[in-house]
Structure 1
Amino acid sequence: MFCTLLWGSAAPFIKWGYDLFSISQTGDILVFAGVRFLLAGLLVILAGSLLQGKLLTAGKAVMTPVLTLAFFQTFGQYFLYYLGVSQASGVDSAVITGTGAFISLLMAVYVFRYEKMTANKALGCLTGFAGILVMNASALTQAGGSLMGEGLILTSQVFSAISAAFIKKFTRTHDAVLLSGWQFACGGLALMLSGLAMGGSMPGASAAGWAVVLYLAFVSAAAYTLWGLLLKEYPLSRVGIFNCIIPVAGVFWSAALLHETGQAFAPSTLAAMALVAIGVWLVNRPETPDKRSENQTCGS
């Protein structure tokens, strides 16, 4: 809950940061994202080193996991996400991010074979996606409307789901905190360099703007590190389904920070939130003893 409440605030804070830094070009967006994640990585490495009483260094043995996660979890996911957020509302961004829970479930079942699909899980996935379609129904029917922003955010959730599955795999043999810190640092540096190569900068620097960047760095450092520890200990579907809290939190963060109260409390938004909530309930709904034991056998 703590992690997803933090993530729910990310989209409106990112859009707020765009305004504070007067960011509009792609290069500026990527520099902004890169600085955030580079700072997040340094925060995790520093905090982890202090707590463990030793410097968390990335040796040769962990470079493959670090670079894999840096590509899927930070560079690929947030390259798409930040560009998408710049073209979508804070409410839409938060709701679409909620699909990550269902995409993670599909990845865990059909790609990485961590667990088995059940009727409840399948129905929950369909219900969750129905919520996304309801949320974006107006964009599908409006003349001249564009789904580019929403499409980029949805694609970013595929990268997020792949990274979650890799986190579960890599944390079996490597320190979750070390992986989190170094993949953020590498992925953030790649994003920042990409933005700089495109002529980007952070033009409207201000104290308020840097406060937003530091808050976003904290969101990543705290939430993803804890998430990695959870994925190490629990089934991916059981942890990942809590991503559905993100759109609920994000709607109200957007209403408070971006004054998107009209959209936050519109019938389509409330219906989408209800469908996502039903999807969460279905995935977590108790199964019959036979199905539950079959699932546990498959998961082990």
Structure 2
Amino acid sequence: MTMPTTTTGPRDSARFFSQPKVLITLATLCCLLWGSSYPAIKIGYALLGIAQNDIPSKLIFAGYRFVLAGLILLILAALTKKPLFNLNGRNAGQLMLLGFTQTAIQYVFFYIGLANTTGVRGSILNSTTTFFSVLLAHFIYQNDKISRRKAAGCLLGFAGVMVVNFGDGLLDFAFSLRGEGFIVIAAFVLSAASIYGKRISQGMDVMVMTGYQLGFGGVVLLAAGYTTGGTLSAFTPGSAALLGYLAVLSAVAFTLWSLLLKYNQVGRVTVFNFLVPVFGTALSAIWLNENIMELKNLVALVLVCSGIWMVTRLPQVRARYSNPAVALTDVPECSRSQS
């Protein structure tokens, strides 16, 4: 006896994920999850006894997180009967390259950088991903050139990055390559890898693509960490639960964000990116007892959020885009994929 199954067509999914209430709720949830990762990672370092300069162990910590996240997504993909093994050699090569860049390389810089700066600074600096994406898209996509508004937004955002790195005086610029520098490099790598991910997601299920790239990137991080002498030997129920939270965070946030991008115009979704540094700084202040009330932090946060709003805000959209079914088929291809 077989149980009847129900399927949801693309138009039904488009209607659901393009509803304003659904878009606002899920996009805000994604930003909250990503913002919470900044204090969670630093708390994980403390719980597992990972020293600030113990880079190999940090890579192992990151590797376990993304291997678990990838497995969660692939198991869900199998349970929902998605085409898990419908891959050819070209697809496998693309997924390996995406996992190596978007997960492994990006998080090598991110985890090391976050260990050498505060959670507040890290959340603000990592938001430069939006501005790098705008600059790269200008040279790659004919229909996504930089306008005056976008240029002004980028300038505001990078001004915020400058402000947050000032010390006690205007001439005291507190910036280290292995701290703030690595966070910015990670943001650039993520921007470039995301553009590549947009291309390959057109011929592949988003959940399957994300699961494989997270899993492969995690394996690379584990191999790099263990071969360079890293170890994690202080696991406790608390640290294991935190690692599980980070894995679920990645799996849920990446999948939901990708679905929102698939069924909405990119600008309608990415406008919520300004919430990531807001949540990141607030949660870092709460859980890490970091001082968010410094004037430079507040000024930097306002500048960065304003810049993100300016570069991602869409001009007035024609009424025909209010129909999800029309929007799904009429939005340019590069706008209907993972960010």
Q: Same fold (TM over 0.5)?
A: yes
Alignment coverage as a number of residue pairs: 292
Code of the aligned partner of 1:274: V
Q: 1:206 aligns with which of 191, 211, 236?
A: 236
Using the alignment, how far apart are the partners of 1:285 and 1:29 within structure 2? Answer: 36
Q: Judge which range, 167-176 or 110-119, deviates more.
A: 110-119
* Equivalences for residues 263-282 of structure 1 within 5 A: 264-282=292-310
Which residue of the partner structure matches residue 171 of structure 1?
201
Code of the aligned partner of 2:98: L
Q: 1:225 aligns with which of 255, 264, 275?
A: 255
Using the alignment, how far apart are the partners of 1:68 and 1:173 within structure 2? Answer: 16
Q: Verify the 8 A CA contact 1:96 1:132 in the aligned structure 2.
A: yes
Using the alignment, how far apart are the partners of 1:167 and 1:145 within structure 2? Answer: 31
Which residue of the partner structure matches residue 292 of structure 1?
none
Which residue of the partner structure matches residue 35 of structure 2?
8
C-alpha change, 1:143 and 1:73, in structure 2 (3 Å) is closer
Q: Which has the higher contact order (CA 8 A, sep 6+)?
A: 1
Which residue of the partner structure matches residue 293 of structure 1?
none
Instruction: Please state how far the C-alpha of 1:155 moved relative to its aligned partner.
Output: 0.2
Q: Verify the 8 A CA contact 2:166 2:173 in the aligned structure 1.
A: no
Using the alignment, how far apart are the partners of 1:298 and 1:170 within structure 2? Answer: 11
Q: Verify the 8 A CA contact 1:23 1:203 in the aligned structure 2.
A: no
Instruction: Please state how far the C-alpha of 1:103 moved relative to its aligned partner.
Output: 0.9
Q: Please identify runs of 4+ aligned residues in structure 1 that moved more than 6 A.
A: 296-300
Using the alignment, how far apart are the partners of 1:83 and 1:16 within structure 2? Answer: 14
Q: 2:91 aligns with which of 46, 59, 62?
A: 62
Using the alignment, how far apart are the partners of 2:175 and 2:304 within structure 1? Answer: 24
Q: Verify the 8 A CA contact 1:13 1:216 in the aligned structure 2.
A: yes
* Equivalences for residues 180-195 of structure 1 within 5 A: 180-195=210-225
Which residue of the partner structure matches residue 20 of structure 1?
47
Q: Judge which range, 102-111 or 210-219, deviates more.
A: 102-111
Q: 1:128 aligns with which of 157, 179, 188?
A: 157
CA displacement, residues 238-271 of structure 1 (integer Å, 9 cap, x when unaligned) = 54443332111100110111111x2x11111110
Which residue of the partner structure matches residue 146 of structure 1?
176
Instruction: Please state how far the C-alpha of 1:147 moved relative to its aligned partner.
Output: 4.2
Q: TM-score, normalised by structure 1?
A: 0.89
Q: Judge which range, 135-144 or 22-31, deviates more.
A: 135-144
Which residue of the partner structure matches residue 82 of structure 1?
111
RMSD in angstroms over aligned alpha carbons? 2.5
SS of the residue corresponding to residue 202 of structure 2 reads: coil
Which residue of the partner structure matches residue 91 of structure 1?
120
Instruction: Please state how far the C-alpha of 1:187 moved relative to its aligned partner.
Output: 0.4
Instruction: Please state how far the C-alpha of 1:174 moved relative to its aligned partner.
Output: 0.9
Identity of aligned residues (%): 36
- Answer yes or no: is 1:137 the counterpart of 2:166: yes
Instruction: Please state how far the C-alpha of 1:145 moved relative to its aligned partner.
Output: 6.1
Q: Verify the 8 A CA contact 1:97 1:246 in the aligned structure 2.
A: no
CA displacement, residues 94-134 of structure 1 (integer Å, 9 cap, x when unaligned) = 11111111111111222354512111111011101111111
- Answer yes or no: is 1:53 the counterpart of 2:81: yes
* Equivalences for residues 257-268 of structure 1 within 5 A: 257-260=287-290, 262=291, 264-268=292-296
C-alpha change, 1:238 and 1:113, in structure 2 (3 Å) is farther
Using the alignment, how far apart are the partners of 2:294 and 2:213 within structure 1? Answer: 39
Unaligned runs of 5+ in 1: 290-295
SS of the residue corresponding to residue 167 of structure 2 reads: helix
Using the alignment, how far apart are the partners of 1:286 and 1:48 within structure 2? Answer: 33
Q: Judge which range, 9-18 or 231-240, deviates more.
A: 231-240
Structure with higher Rg: it is 2
